[in-house]
Amino acid sequence: MSSLQDTIAAVRQEVCRLHAELTRYQLVVWTAGNVSGRIPGHELMVIKPSGVSYDDLTPEQMVVTDLHGVPVDSITTGTGQTISWHNPALSPSSDTAAHAYVYRNMPEVGGVVHTHSTYATAWAARGEDIPCVLTMMGDEFGGPIPVGPFALIGDDSIGHGIVETLKHSNSPAVLMQNHGPFTIGKDARAAVKAAVMCEEVAKTVHVSRQLGEPLPIDEAKIASLFDRYQNVYGR
C-alpha cells in the first residue's frame, strides 16, 4: 500500500472516531453536524457521508473528495503513477462545499467541524458575537467569537463567510448567522476541541448575562492569555 493510501486510511479512522466526540459532548442531534480532515500534502479531504447516524459511521464510509468537494477515488502523481482507493456509494455531507472552501483558502487549516450545539447556535440566531469575558475565551479564542454572514446551505457561500470572518480574528470558531458554529484547527481533533470549547463558553456567557452584565477583560490581558495558551500551555 502506498503512503497516500495509508494516510487516507488514518485520516478516515480519525475523522470517523471524532464524530463520537460530537455526541459525547452533546453538540449534535440526529445527523446535524460534521467533521472533516485534510489529507496533508494533497488536494484532498475526508468528510462524513450525508445523513448517516453517528452510531452507524465506519471509517470506510468517510468520503474522500477533492478541495471542491467532488468525490474522487484516485489521483495520478507527477511521475504518472495512479494511486486509487475505494469510496463508499454515499454522498458527502451537505456542508462539504463549505469545508472544501476553507481548505482551499486557509492552507494552515487541517480540520473543520460544524455543529448545531444549543448555546452557540442560540447566539448565532441572535447574530451577536460572544464577548471575551472569560479567561477560557482568551486562551482558546483570543477575543470574541465572531458572527459570520447568513448564507444558504449547499454551495460554497458558507465557506466564503467562514473565511472572510476568521481571517480578521484569532478565533477558531465562527457563528454563522441563523445557522450555527463552524470551527477550524490545525487538524480535525483541534477543530473538534474548538467546537467543544465554543459551546462551553456560549453557555457560560449566556448564564452570566442572566445574572447581570459580564465584566470585560482588557485587550492586553486577552493577548497575554492567548499567547500563553497557544505557545506554553501543555508543552
Ligand X SMILES: O=C(CO)[C@@H](O)[C@H](O)COP(=O)(O)O
- Considering the complex, state which of residue 36 and residue 171 has its C-beta at the smaller distance from ligand X: 36
- Considering the complex, state which of residue 31 and residue 143 has its C-beta at the smaller distance from ligand X: 31
Map grid coordinates 472516531 to a residue.
Answer: 17
Contact of 169 with 226, CB cutoff 8 Å: no
- Considering the complex, state which of residue 90 and residue 136 has its C-beta at the smaller distance from ligand X: 90
Contact of 209 with 134, CB cutoff 8 Å: no
Q: Min. distance of Cβ 91 from ligand X in angstroms?
A: 8
- Considering the complex, state which of residue 117 and residue 171 has its C-beta at the smaller distance from ligand X: 117
Q: Min. distance of Cβ 124 from ligand X in angstroms?
A: 11
Q: Min. distance of Cβ 93 from ligand X in angstroms?
A: 3
Contact of 163 with 101, CB cutoff 8 Å: yes
- Considering the complex, state which of residue 94 and residue 169 has its C-beta at the smaller distance from ligand X: 94
Q: Min. distance of Cβ 110 from ligand X in angstroms?
A: 19
Contact of 71 with 88, CB cutoff 8 Å: no
Chain-centroid distance, C-alpha 202: 16
CB atoms within 10 A of CB 105: 17
- Considering the complex, state which of residue 116 and residue 203 has its C-beta at the smaller distance from ligand X: 116
Q: Min. distance of Cβ 220 from ligand X in angstroms?
A: 37
Residue in 125, 119, 122, 124 with CA at minimum distance from that of residue 197: 119
Binding-site ranges for ligand X (CB under 6 A): 31-34, 48, 50-51, 93-95, 114, 153
Q: Min. distance of Cβ 219 from ligand X in angstroms?
A: 33
Chain-centroid distance, C-alpha 199: 13
CA–CA distance, 85 with 27 (Å, rounded to integer): 31
Grid coordinates belonging to 207: 448564564
133 Cβ contact partners less than 8 Å away, ≥ 6 residues apart:
205, 208, 214, 215, 216, 217
Chain-centroid distance, C-alpha 96: 11
